[in-house]
Amino acid sequence: MARGQSAAYGIDADWNRLYIGGEWRGSASRETIDVEDPSTRETVATVPAGTVDDVDAAYDAAAAAQEEWGQTPPARRQEVVQELLRLLNEHDEEIIGLLTHEAGGTRGMGETSLHLASDQAAEAVTLPRRLKGEHVVSNIPGKENIVQRVPQGIVTVISPWNFPLNLSMRAVAPAIAAGNAVVLKPATNTPIVGGLLFARLFEEAGLPGGVLNVITGRGSDIGDRVASHPESDVIAFTGSTEVGRRVAAAAGENLAVAAMELGGNNAHIVTADADVDAAIDAAVFGSFVHQGQVCISINRHLVHEDIYDEYVQKLTDRAEGLPVGSAHDEVVVGPIIDESQRDEMLSYVEETVDAGATLETGGETVELEGVNDSLVVAPTVLSDVTNEMAVACNEHFGPIAPVIPFSNVDEAVELANATEYGLSGSVQAGDIGMGKRIADRIETGMIHVNDQPINDEAHVPFSGTGASGVGGYNSEDFLDEITEKKWISLQHEPRKFPF
Ligand code: NAP
């Protein structure tokens, strides 16, 4: 076992407990959920199937703990988050192992997730000392206006399975640092690395009981109660647009703040004068990293007709050369998270070919020795695609690269914007000024010139527009959501009233 690693954080540790009020306890139902390794299809852990009663207990514990935590000196809150960051890095190998076992993450995905989570935690460390208020002059003689920034209270975090570590971290760490209590519900596919791991890390970091509560369980059983709980002041949700609409409606009913990061249909636009090899390097990463299961990955390649054939050929060659297989081996493309995701993306490919597109490579499952019903999908390139075809108009969330031709910049912009989503995107242009002008016209929350769409830095705003979400993560944006302003005025001399 490497430096600082202990069995308590590995996949073989006992994870069959919920974490409520600083105690590890079984679910009220005593029912459990098996966690499957997507590479081997074997059950690697068992976690509790939380119930509505467990959810209520978690919010009771959070409510009991929040006030004291909110009043804890900033230096102490900072120490706890700093210690979390240290533990995260001390247990790096076990955590990367959890990502491989639960999320099917390759070594590269695990290292990237850990880096992003560390970046998020490091940013959160600074928050306790950044909760600044202001003095505002008054029109009323003798009045002093003080505007304080205070924690919202209880922040609910619901996270997805694709990048569970950093997507839970980006909400949990700042919420706690700012003095809130948290109820965290991770995705059912990744209940440990997106949920119970946080309980163990924060417990070891010295966080008082009740400030963080983790409930594992199926969204279909407990999701509505979590999303609509009356104690919740903020819902920080990352997941699909379909579920997000429902969660946002529940938050609205409850008058809770909704920070929603949802699906995407991101375009990689390549102009006629682009450096094709650079565009391909970016495209291969942007389409195939973590098997394309990234909300900000390339969903569509929009390529100028002058370089279209060259682009398709080079992308196909690169896709065919990528090492593919079990995430436990040295591969670039590992397994899809589960059958339903795999089957959906393969049906999009089939529909797209039936509609007239050309399958250049891939489009099928890759068998793995000793694995029954493999979840690995071969890197797939499709040409002669139109924006209306299934693989282009849906978020396919797979290692699939549909390539759509365009004849001029106006057409490229129109194609890119012809989606309800507005998350990320990229432009590859020989003239970077032209790249910026195209970026200005793309209706997304984020877009990257001479790069690909997958970028995330904890100090830079991260948000989508349209059906990709409301509110924002990272930097000051999320701080504004997890805190509120409170106006206290002091009347220093007798005030004159009109009657
Ligand atoms: P999902 O099906 O929407 O699930 C997300 C979370 O919501 C899971 O924890 C899920 O629990 C829970 N949930 C399900 N039903 C619920 C309900 N009725 N009430 C409350 N919570 C409920 O999404 P996913 O398949 O895990 O993740 C993939 C999606 O997330 C893609 O669309 C991707 O684009 C999006 N995403 C967006 C971002 C971003 O920053 N914009 C980042 C990553 C992913 P269960 O797992 O138990 O069902």
User: pLDDT tens digit string along 397-436?
Assistant: 999 999 999 999 999 999 999 999 999 999 999 999 999 9
How far is Cα 36 from Cα 430, in angstroms, rounded to an integer?
A: 46
Question: Which of 32, 192, 238, 444 should be mutated for ligand 1, with most atoms under 8 A from CB?
Answer: 238
DSSP summary character for residue 391 = H
Instruction: Let me know how long the chain is.
Output: 499
Lookup: tokens for 379: 């890197």
Per-residue pLDDT, averaged over 35-47, amounts to 98
Confidence band, pLDDT 50/70/90 cuts, at residue 28: confident
484 flagged as catalytic? no
Alpha helices in 126-263 (DSSP H): 164-177, 197-204, 224-227, 241-253
Pick the residue whose CA is nearest to atom 14 on ligand 1: 219
Torsions phi, psi for 133 (to 5 deg): -100, -160
Catalytic residue among 36, 94, 102, 261: 261
Q: Atom of ligand 1 at shortest distance to CA of 218?
A: 47
Q: How far apart are CA 9 and CA 201, in angstroms?
A: 9
Rounded-to-integer distance, Cα 79 and Cα 74, Å: 9
Nearest Cα residue to atom 17 of ligand 1: 223
pLDDT digits (tens, 9 = 90+) for 121-179: 999 999 999 999 999 999 999 999 999 999 999 999 999 999 999 999 999 999 999 99
Residue 186 CA, ligand 1 centroid: distance in Å: 9
Span from the CA of 361 to the centroid of ligand 1 (angstroms): 30
Beta strands 18-20 and 23-25 are antiparallel
pLDDT (0 to 100) of residue 5: 53
CA 496 to chain centre: 54
The token duo for 468 is 């990709």
- CA of 64 from ligand 1 middle (Å) equals 28
Match 């417990």 to its residue by tokens. 203
> Residues of the chain with pLDDT > 70: what percent?
99
The reply to whether ligand 1 has any atom less than 6 angstroms from the CB of 166 is no
Summarised one tens digit per residue, pLDDT across range 85-98 is 999 999 999 999 99
Which residue has its alpha carbon closest to ligand 1 atom 21?
A: 223
Give residue limits of the domains in the chain.
18-262+468-486, 266-449
Asked if residue 4 has its Cβ within 6 Å of ligand 1, the reply is no
Q: Which pLDDT band holds residue 1 (cuts at 50, 70, 90)? A: very low
Ligand 1 atom showing the smallest separation from residue 241 Cα: 32
Rounded to whole angstroms, how far apart are CA atoms 86 and 384?
50
Cα 350 to middle of ligand 1, angstroms: 25
Residues 310-330: tens digit of each pLDDT = 999 999 999 999 999 999 999
Residue nearest to atom 30 of ligand 1 (CA): 239
**E-only strand ranges, 289-343:** 298-304
Q: Is 194 in the pocket of ligand 1 (CB under 6 A)?
A: no
Give dist(CA 183, CA 190) in Å, integer: 16
Atom 19 (ligand 1) nearest CA: 223
Q: For ligand 1, say whether the CB of 311 is within 6 Å of any of its atoms.
A: no
Cβ atoms of 185 and 223 closer than 8 Å: yes
Q: Give the position, in ligand 1's atom list, of the atom nearest the Cα of 244.
A: 3
395 pocket-lining for ligand 1 (C-beta < 6 Å): yes
* Pairwise CA distance, residues 11 & 26, whole Å: 18
Give the pLDDT of residue 2: 47
Indicate whether residue 210 lines ligand 1 (CB < 6 A): no
The structure tokens listed for 182 are 């948290």
Helix (H, G, I), strand (E, B) or coil at 347: helix
**Span 266-449 CATH architecture:** 3-Layer(aba) Sandwich (3.40)
pLDDT tops 90 at residue 337: yes
**Alpha carbons 451 and 432: distance in angstroms, whole number:** 11
Query: Which residue type, as a one-letter code, is found at position 74?
Result: P
The tokens describing 309, both together, are 């054939």
Indicate if ligand 1 lies below 6 Å from the C-beta of 250.
no
Q: What is the pLDDT of residues 437-475, one digit of tens each?
A: 999 999 999 999 999 999 999 999 999 999 999 999 997
DSSP code at position 384: S
CA 160 / ligand 1 centre spacing (Å): 4
Verify whether ligand 1 is closer than 6 Å to residue 218 (CB atom): yes
Burial (0-12, 13-18, 19+ Cβ within 10 Å), 497 = exposed
- 133 C-beta neighbours (distance < 10 Å), count: 14
Which residue type sits at 482? I
DSSP per-residue letters across 66-124 = HHHHHHS-HHHHHHHHHHHHHHHHHTHHHHHHHHHHHH---HHHHHHHHHHHHHHHHHH
Return the C-alpha torsion angle 308, 314, 319, 322, nearest 10.
Answer: -160
CB-CB contact of 430 with 275 (8 Å): yes
Q: Which two tokens stand for residue 264?
A: 């995407």
Centre of ligand 1 from the C-alpha of residue 323, in Å: 28
Ligand 1 atom with the shortest distance to the CA of 462: 40
Packing angle, helices 74-90 and 197-204, rounded to 10: 120
Is a pLDDT exceeding 90 seen at residue 4? no
User: Would you say residue 106 has pLDDT above 90?
Assistant: yes
Cβ(224) – ligand 1 distance below 6 Å: yes
Query: Which residues, 6+ apart, have CB-to-CB distance to 65 below 8 Å?
Result: 21, 181, 208, 209, 210, 211
- Which bin fits 348, alpha (ψ -120 to 50), beta or left (φ > 0)? alpha
Computed on alpha carbons and rounded to an integer, the radius of gyration of the chain in Å comes to 24
**In which residue are the tokens 């080079």 written?**
314
CB-ligand 1 contact for 262 (6 Å cutoff): yes
- 219 C-beta closer than 6 A to ligand 1: yes
Determine how many CB atoms are found less than 10 A away from the CB of residue 486. 11
The residue behind tokens 């242009």 is: 429
**Among the options 94, 295, 393, 481, which is catalytic?**
295
Distance (Å, whole) CA 200 – CA 165: 13
Cα–Cα distance measured from residue 407 to residue 87, given in angstroms and rounded to the nearest whole number: 52
Q: Do domains 18-262+468-486 and 266-449 have the same CATH topology?
A: no
Burial 365-385 (b: 16+ CB within 10 A, else e): bbebeebeebbbbbbbbbbbb
Please work out, in degrees rounded to the nearest 5, the angle formed at the alpha carbon of residue 325 by the alpha carbons of 111 and 354. 115
Instruction: Give the pLDDT score at 7.
Output: 57
Tell me if residue 393 is catalytic.
Answer: no
Q: How far is the CA of 271 from the centre of ligand 1 (A)?
A: 34
Kindly give the distance from the C-alpha atom of residue 425 to the centroid of ligand 1, in angstroms, as a whole number. 21
Give the three-class secondary structure for 320: helix
The DSSP line for 234-297 is EEEEES-HHHHHHHHHHHHHTT-EEEEE----EEEEE-TTS-HHHHHHHHHHHHHGGGG--TTS
188 lines ligand 1 (CB under 6 A): yes
What pLDDT, in 10s, does the model give residues 182-235?
Answer: 999 999 999 999 999 999 999 999 999 999 999 999 999 999 999 999 999 999
Q: Would you state the CATH architecture of domain 18-262+468-486?
A: 3-Layer(aba) Sandwich (3.40)
Calculate how far, in angstroms, residue 243's C-alpha sits from the geometric centre of ligand 1: 7
Please tell me if the CB atom of residue 464 comes closer than 6 angstroms to any atom of ligand 1: yes
